[in-house]
Amino acid sequence: MAKDEAQTDIMDLGRRMQALFSPTGVSVPQVEQMLKLQQEMVGQTETFARHWVERRQEAAETGLEALREMSTASGTDPMAAMRAMTDWQRGSFRRLNADLQDWVALCTQLTQVAVTPDSGTDAPAANQDADTSKTAKARGRAASGTKSQHATPV
């Protein structure tokens, strides 16, 4: 008898596991939305990375120019060497500012893409959930009175 029960339990577990992996119509739009989001993320990230590398190349080129100017002017004109270094640092701060602005823009764009429902696939479900939540709260208030009662300190 115990062997039959164990076999039934295993069969029941198998059926439950099979139900988890069976394709459903609900999962298809969600997977499509995920793939669309990933493609958008790749495109946005590639653009960000390309601009970042371009700024690093510009930094290396202008740094090399500054070093050349500093080495030629260091013996004769220390102020020219300081100007070359200051100009390079000013450009570096501009590049860092551009990095930060691009990073914030990337994060904002990807967040907007991630939270924007795709052509109404999730909108009806979200509205239905919100309506259900509102009616449940209203029923809870009706059962306990018109307003919630706060505890009175003793």
DSSP secondary structure string, 66-118?
A: HHHHHHHHTTT-HHHHHHHHHHHHHHHHHHHHHHHHHHHHHHHHHHHHHHS-S
> How does pLDDT run along the chain (154 residues), one tens digit per residue?
455 566 678 888 887 777 777 766 667 788 888 888 889 899 999 999 999 999 999 999 999 999 998 888 777 888 888 999 999 999 999 999 999 999 999 999 988 888 876 544 444 444 444 454 555 455 444 444 444 455 555 5
* E strand or H helix at 119: none
pLDDT of residue 63: 95
Q: Which of 118, 99, 104 is nearest to 40 (CA)?
A: 118
Supply the pLDDT for residue 81.
87
The reported pLDDT for the residue numbered 126 is 45
What local confidence, expressed as pLDDT, does residue 66 receive?
Answer: 92
pLDDT of residue 71: 87
Nearest to 95 by CA among 61, 67, 64, 54: 54
What's the pLDDT score for residue 123? 44
Dihedral sign for Cα 71, 76, 80, 85, please: positive
